[in-house]
Chain A
Amino acid sequence: MEAPPEHCPGVESEQAGKVSACAGCPNQGICSDPNRKVEDPGKALVAESLKDVKNKLLILSGKGGVGKSTVTSLLTRYLARSCPNSNFGVLDIDICGPSQPRLLGALGENVHQSGSGWSPVGIDDNVCLMSIGFLLGSVDDAIIWRGPKKNGMIRQFLSEVDWGNLDLLLLDTPPGTSDEHLSVVSYLKDDTQPESLRAVIVTTPQEVALLDVRKEINFCKKQNIPIVGVIENMSSFRCGNCGNSSEIFPAKTGGAAAMCAEMEVPLLGSLPLDPQIAKACDSGDDITEIKNSTTEALDGICSKIMSSFS
């Protein structure tokens, strides 16, 4: 790519293509065209590659460590089990801290290159996964990248992975409201089908998490992404010894329920802290066989999400 001319007014500028510095610039024609629309060519590539993907679901939270990845993997397992005739894909866009390979039991797997792009890793008959974790030589390898490189990687994951026919693509995100979030939204948002991209928000009950989650909800509102609802994770803990429940992360400000009422978004349900599930997630086991109050709550949340798409 050539560097822009020295006094380039910038493509966004009113003066683009019109000032003296533009004379001789190869892009002058594009910049001075009054009907021009500056659009990332990647967007068309992504749209072409994902044309057989019906719906996309972002799993978001402003806060880290609240269980975005765990909820993504639990939802995927549950949805895949309850809709055996549908196909599901999971894309992990947490570039600096990918967790999906571990949670879906695919640590150490490799992605293969084929004529139609990277083949995602098969998790189950109807579930496939792509994560940067598969491209690293070791768990210790750090991805020390600034925004533009992360954005390039996300574009590649969307446009160069052979996703095939999917009924739902779940996207697990890093915390925050920055590069990854802006990129994925700009690539996936389809103004002709605004309902095909939705978001689920994950939070924990304490105020320090809710504080960041409110920011994420406002991010969705600003970007016009419909919010399916909020899932409250780690809501209480039942002691395995005496059976009593305690609040580990006290909801001093009313927890997710009060926050949802204040922000006018639906609450999908609460998931209690469950050492059994946590252990199963760490070792990447399928949790749909476990029957307890957590999986029951999960069942209810899944049917609400499913009905929002039908």
Chain B
Amino acid sequence: MLDKVKNVIVVLSGKGGVGKSTVSTQLALALRQTGHKVGLLDIDLCGPSVPYLLGLEGSDIFQCDEGWVPIYTDESQTLAVMSIGFLLKNRTDPVIWRGPKKTMMIRQFLTDVKWDELDYLIIDTPPGTSDEHITVMECLREVPCNGAIIVTTPQGVALDDVRKEITFCKKTGIKLLGIVENMSGFVCPHCTSCTNIFSSNGGVELAKYAQIPHLGTLPIDPRVGVLAGTTASVLDELPDSTTAEVLRGLVQHLDSITLTA
């Protein structure tokens, strides 16, 4: 399983809709932009977002002798993507599965996909601490996993669930690489005054409380939202934005960890 994959990073959050998939896709694109070969695995089976976010909806998965061939975003084959979205006939079809079927599917994604040589495999997860998470952690015991990046928004109702996810990581023995605070503050395009719609600093305080690194704070930037549906990296399109700055820092941080590892 994942024999040729050098580093595995899991993107987690107890809460839904905080930006796990957006952070996963932009991190994958940023790692690729800095010269790495990257894989992105979406294990959110009931609500896969990665195919839409990268504009890959409607792609079909092919089978070869060694297993499923992931979808490559372009001919350079530097970003390989796998999601249940590629296996559904229609984008509105629900996947109404209980736990055991989800577990089987995730095992298959980890064992039967021909990932080839990768510098990084990013795993995007659904919210919660249940079947998908337990399965992926069990599987990752057999391969070297670098750790988890936790995504949160700053308001209390999200932090409650994220604290549970941190406990999950501690109990299952996965290393916590740090917290990314997303949707922190919105700069009004009309008057440039910043409103903390979902409050602010919650992620920074949580990082302090849980004694794990704070990896950066991302504002609400509708320009980043507009990039959904393309494989454009924030680093290329909006190089001066806070989002790009945080992502560059994140890539550097990951590179320094994996060099020493």
Contacts and interface: CB of A to CB of B under 8 A. Distances in A.
A63 B17 contact: yes
A96 B14 contact: yes
A282 B155 contact: yes
Size class of the contact patch on chain B: 35 or more
Contacts of B196: 275
B211 interface: no
B225 interface: yes
B98 interface: yes
Nearest to B165: A142
Given A140-B164, A212-B49, A246-B222, A218 B129 contact: no
A282 B191 contact: no
Contact of A178 (B93, B99, B197): B99
B209 to A, nearest CB: 9
A3 to B, nearest CB: 17
Contact of A242 (B18, B49, B96, B193): B193
B129 A142 contact: yes
Nearest to A273: B197
A172 interface: no
A63 B148 CA distance: 22
Contacts of A206: 225, 228
A102 B156 contact: yes
A69 B157 contact: yes
Contact of B161 (A99, A103, A281): A99
A52 interface: no
A233 B49 CA distance: 19
Given A144-B134, A174-B128, A250-B225, A182 B98 contact: yes
Nearest to B130: A96
Interface residues of A, number: 66
A239 B190 contact: yes
If over half of B's interface residues share one DSSP class (helix, strand or loop), that class is named, otherwise mixed; here it is loop
Interface in A213-252: 214-219, 222, 237, 239-242, 244, 246-250, 252
B15 interface: yes
A23 interface: no
A11 interface: no
A269 interface: no
A176 interface: yes
A141 B47 contact: no
Interface in B66-109: 91-100, 102
Interface string A56-95: 0000001111100110000000000000000000000001
Contacts of B94: 62, 177, 215-216, 218-219, 222
B17 A65 contact: yes
Interface stretch (A43-51, A115-123, A146-154, A160-168): A146-154
Interface stretch (B28-36, B110-118, B166-174, B248-256): B166-174
B46 A278 contact: no
A175 B14 contact: no
Interface in B36-76: 45-47, 49, 52-53
Contacts of A282: 155-157, 199
A178 B102 CA distance: 9
Contact of B160 (A102, A178, A219, A250): A102
A139 interface: yes
A148 to B, nearest CB: 7
B245 interface: no
Contacts of B160: 97, 99, 102, 139
Contacts of B220: 248
Interface in A104-162: 139-148, 150
Contacts of A147: 98-100, 130-131
A145 B129 CA distance: 7
A296 interface: no
Contacts of A96: 14, 127-130, 161, 164
B207 to A, nearest CB: 14
Contacts of B229: 207, 252
A19 interface: no
Given A63-B16, A208-B21, 9 more contacts: A96-B161, A140-B164, A141-B167, A142-B14, A144-B172, A175-B16, A209-B17, A239-B191, A282-B155
Closest 4 CB pairs of A and B: A64-B16, A65-B17, A147-B99, A176-B46
19 contacts: A63-B16, A65-B15, A70-B157, A96-B127, A102-B156, A102-B157, A142-B14, A142-B165, A142-B171, A144-B134, A147-B130, A177-B94, A181-B96, A182-B98, A208-B53, A216-B94, A248-B220, A275-B197, A278-B197
